[in-house]
Structure 1
Amino acid sequence: MPFLNFIGCYMGCNSYRGPGLIGLAASSSLIDFGFFCSISDSSMFVYRHGGCILVLLLYVDDIVLNGNDEAFLSSCVTALGTHFAMKDLGTLHYFLSIEVSHTSQGLFLSQLKYVADVLLRAHMTDIKPMSTPMVLWSSIDDTTPFFDVILYRSLVGALQYLTMTRPDLSFAVNSVCQYMHAPTISHFGMVKRILRYVKGTLDRGLRIVRDRSLALYAFSDSDWAGCLITWCSTTSFCTFLGANCISWSAKKQPWSPVPTLRPSTGYGYYSC
């Protein structure tokens, strides 16, 4: 029987059988139990019974479980206990490097410990903070190849995961992700600026407040040919459900608007 660590209304799991086996076994058991897998996220399972709703997030051998009815949630946990050996770890405070703080208004998600580890890996624990993550118009002054490509990719990958609770980093992190194949000294300078900005904004994170509103609205923007090399645009958006930001992204245009010369006039134009 797989071994699960149960966390109050939330559940954290560890298996002695290996992550692959527990993941497959748990998914199958949840579906047999009556959960259905979300179309948008294969790691999320939802169970509905009358007016009660349970939402379960499964990541390899870790689980987070929540619902809108405490009594029904407890009975569900008891039923799941017939399939898994579970241990109560209390209220959720830490999950996949994300710290969960409970406030009077709801939850506050942050990654303070994770940031400290990233700064230590970059040998930048004592750096001077910056007020912005990047300059308005960046120029590649030093095209000398960066000597440690593995370090560059490691730090940028770590910053990508940091955007899980820091939407304000999405655009800047997207910019440095574009040079993973062959970073230069200037590109690493952009990464260090982001880290200096993170150092000065350690208290920031993502809040989830109690809100009865189910109004869905979004904001988007683009830098319109912001890349001076390819003339591609980077588009960003964030989506809100009520007062809570639930999704966000920054993505560069996948194609380049290459100028085409008109033989008859000699003028160039850009396709959009």
Structure 2
Amino acid sequence: MSPPPGLRRQGENLVCRLHKSLYGLKQASRQWFSKFTEAILTAGFSQSKADYSLFVCKDGTSLTVLLIYVDDILITGNNMESINDLKQFLHTRFRIKDLGDLKFFLGIEIARSKKGIYISQRKYALEIIKDSGYLGAKPVKFPMEESKLSNKGELLKDPAAYRRLVGRLIYLTITRPDITYSVHILSRFMHEPRQPHMAVALRVVRYLKSSPGQGLLLRSHDSLNLRAFCDSDWAGCPITRRSTTGYCIFLGSSLISWRTKRQKTVSLSSAEAEYRAMADLHMPISSPAILHCDNQSALHIAANPVFHERTRHIEMDCHFIRDKILQGEVVTQHVISSQQLADVFTKALGKEKFKSLMCKLGVLDNHSPT
């Protein structure tokens, strides 16, 4: 950086040398995280390989977990003495402010009960509804009709409004698996949005109005076994004719991970990522993850070591899942189509089936009078 004008001497080409990073510089955030990481590692914590912002310290039966986002920190564990020691250590190094029990973090609301921890984004959802001008609109019971969107229709005069709305809906999917598929479809048209796309996006807003406080319950008394459901449509995109893959992963009966993705190549590594995260948190894995699929052919390919010409293009994925089966880390099971929970992540569903799957996924409204 250059020195202030008052310190510049004629004929001298001097610069200032920083002893530490200043707030507002490009390198500031990187330097801050580097400094924090160095400090927390000296306190006996280890950095997660699944998420570099997660730090874990295990000492005998004591487990302390720290998660950082920029300068916001979450701390949890099973030993209050260890948590208090960590707070004191951080305060001496960085002068932190203790805000007490977690209730609100990055737009996510957290509520506790004997049943477990309930997370939602009610305030954020209400802001979306208000900004869209739909506070007085009639709510709908499901987010998307069963028809498919295409690239036809009149172009929007203000595409920025569409992009802003869809961008906010994307962040809402952190706690709302019920709108994941709809938002994924809407995201495909960000570069050139049209009137039918905006109409569907506003329908999602009307759906949010029916239950803005809907979220997920992470149960306190549950098993630590992983179960996964995966599904795919076939050539579902009317523009590219690519298929859409969806999966959801449960820890016991609690939904912890889900995704909708248009296929380029099919990846089946989601269970491996969940195993790695569980290992970082020192969670005991007593049994293999169960992968539920409603396609008998896919299950036979995973178990059958013989390839033929029509399966060569998926050979690498088959080797991956077969290795996990042979190692005992994954067990495949067939599930009938009516019980396939991942259906909600691969296609638009009617009212009754959508409602049924939401109950099975554990999505509920903590603010509902019933």
**Same fold, TM-score > 0.5, yes or no:** yes
| Cα distance in 1, alignment partners of residues 196 and 151 from structure 2 | 6
Say which of 192, 195, 203 aligns to 2:202.
Answer: 192
Letter in 2 for 1:204: Q
Q: How do 1:86-235 and structure 2 match up within 5 A?
A: 86-140=96-150, 143-235=153-245
Q: Given that residues 115 and 221 in structure 2 are in contact (C-alpha distance below 8 angstroms), is that contact kept between their aligned partners in structure 1?
A: no
TM-score (norm 1): 0.83
Partner residue in 2 for 1:34? 44
**Which protein has greater RCO, CA pairs closer than 8 Å, 6+ apart?**
2
Deviation, 1:139, is: 4.5
Asked if 1:56 corresponds to 2:70, the answer is: no
Contact 2:62 2:78 in 1 (8 A): yes
Q: Distance in 1 between matches of 2:23 and 2:238?
A: 52
1:200 is matched by which residue type in structure 2?
Answer: S
Provide the TM-score with structure 2 as the length reference. 0.62
Letter of the 2:131 partner, please give it.
Answer: R
| Structure with the higher fraction of residues in helix conformation | 2
Supply the AA of the counterpart residue of 1:36: S
Using the alignment, how far apart are the partners of 1:183 and 1:212 within structure 2? 44
Secondary structure in 1 matching 2:229 = strand
Q: Which moved more, 1:108-117 or 1:75-84?
A: 75-84
Contact 1:211/1:242 (<8 A) preserved: no
Contact 1:234 1:250 in 2 (8 A): yes
The one-letter code matched in structure 2 to 1:88 is D
2:262 is matched with 252
How many Å separate the matches in 1 of 2:42 and 2:132? 46
Q: In structure 2, what residue type is equivalent to 1:132?
A: F
Q: For 1:213 and 1:103, how far apart are their aligned partners in 2? A: 18
Measure the CA separation in 2 of the matches of 1:200 and 1:223.
28
Superposed, which structure 2 residues align to 1:58-97 within 5 Å? 58-97=68-107
Which residue does the alignment assign to 1:9? Answer: none
Aligned counterparts of 1:143 and 1:84: Cα–Cα separation in 2: 55
State the aligned residue count.
243
**Match for residue 265 of structure 1?**
none
Contact 1:134 1:193 in 2 (8 A): yes
Contact persistence 1:141–1:186 (CA under 8 A): no
> Which entry has the higher C-alpha Rg, 1 or 2?
2
Alignment partner of 1:82: what SS? helix
CA distance in 1, matches of 2:58, 2:129: 43
- Find runs of 4+ consecutive structure 1 residues off by over 6 angstroms: none
Q: Structure 1 CA distance, aligned partners of 2:151 and 2:84?
A: 60
| Paired amino acid for 1:116 | L
Q: Give a deviation string over 1:100-159, Cα, whole Å, max 9, x none.
A: 111121111111110111122222222211111111122449511111111111111111
C-alpha separation in 2, matches of 1:239 and 1:250: 12
**1:224 CA displacement:** 1.8
Structure 2: 5+ residue stretches without partners: 1-21, 266-309, 315-370
Greater strand share, 1 or 2? 1
Aligned match of 1:43: 53
CA distance in 2: counterparts of 1:135 and 1:60, whole angstroms:
39
What is the SS of the residue equivalent to 1:171? helix
Q: CA deviation at 1:28?
A: 2.2
